[in-house]
Chain A
Amino acid sequence: SQTIHQWPATLVQPVGSPLSLECTVEGTSNPNLYWYRQAAGRGLQLLFYSVGIGQISSEVPQNLSASRPQDRQFILSSKKLLLSDSGFYLCAWNGLSALSDNEQFFGPGTRLTVL
């Protein structure tokens, strides 16, 4: 079965510091991968998605970047964090099998607090 991991689970960082959040998927190959952010009182917002190694699409202009160095690894980064980067970051992947056509599955999330 497929599993999605995210780490760290929680993170407290000062303004201006760098960021690296990691997401890995097990049990599938060539998945579509997504980074979402959930801010307090707001819905989930898509930040980036990737359809393959090195292929990144950005949905909104922001202080963050993403990379996909391996098929099942997706990384969210920032060179200098802002207060507004605080939130709950969720990684997700797409199931593309006939039994779960385009059903999306989410990881456990990373709670980021920027002080």
Chain B
Amino acid sequence: KQEVTQIPAALSVPEGENLVLNCSFTDSAIYNLQWFRQDPGKGLTSLLLIQSSQREQTSGRLNASLDKSSGRSTLYIAASQPGDSATYLCAVRRYGGSQGNLIFGKGTKLSVKP
């Protein structure tokens, strides 16, 4: 049974700092991995999608890496800003197509102090 773990559960950093969020999964047979952002009381916003054949994806100040063999992914946030404060969730998909539901970690709550 696939399990997804995110460490740390919470993180507080000063503005401008570069930071890394970690995600690990127990079964390396994944189709893809997706990173999301969730603001309090809101739905999930997709940040980055990494296919199983890819090593990393970048979007602006965000960079996500994937190491399937070790069951790890990291989300790197450069030059953090107070607006980055949110809960970040990673999720893995076992299969593509119709059976492709996501297995989520519990998230890392990030607070960026001005």
Establish whether residues A90 and B96, one from each chain, have CB atoms under 8 Å apart when the complex forms. no
B46 adjacent to chain A (CB < 8 Å): yes
Contacts of A59 in B (CB 8 A): 101
Cα distance A30–B45 in the bound complex, in angstroms: 22
A43 adjacent to chain B (CB < 8 Å): yes
Mark B60-100 against chain A: 1 for CB-CB distance below 8 A, else 0.
00000000000000000000000000000101010011101
Selecting from A13-21, A73-81, A101-109, the interface stretch reads A101-109
Closest to A105 in B: B46
A65 adjacent to chain B (CB < 8 Å): no
Cα distance A75–B84 in the bound complex, in angstroms: 33
Cα distance A44–B103 in the bound complex, in angstroms: 8
Complex partner residue of A103 from B4, B34, B41, CB under 8 angstroms: B34
- State which residues 29-43 of B face A: CB under 8 Å: 31-32, 34, 36, 41-43
Report the minimum CB–CB distance from A40 to chain B (whole Å): 11
B44 adjacent to chain A (CB < 8 Å): yes
Establish whether residues B46 and A94, one from each chain, have CB atoms under 8 Å apart when the complex forms. no
Number of interface residues of B (CB under 8 A): 26
Establish whether residues A101 and B96, one from each chain, have CB atoms under 8 Å apart when the complex forms. yes
Closest to A104 in B: B102
* With A43-B104, A59-B101 as contacts: A103 and B46 at CB distance below 8 Å: yes
Establish whether residues A108 and B104, one from each chain, have CB atoms under 8 Å apart when the complex forms. no
A114 adjacent to chain B (CB < 8 Å): no
* With A49-B101, A102-B96 as contacts: A108 and B34 at CB distance below 8 Å: no
Cα distance A107–B44 in the bound complex, in angstroms: 7
Mark A73-115 against chain B: 1 for CB-CB distance below 8 A, else 0.
0000000000000001010101010001111111111010000
Residues of A within 8 A of B (CB): 6, 32, 34, 42-44, 46, 49, 51, 59, 88, 90, 92, 94, 96, 100-109, 111
Closest 3 CB pairs of A and B: A106-B44, A51-B98, A44-B104
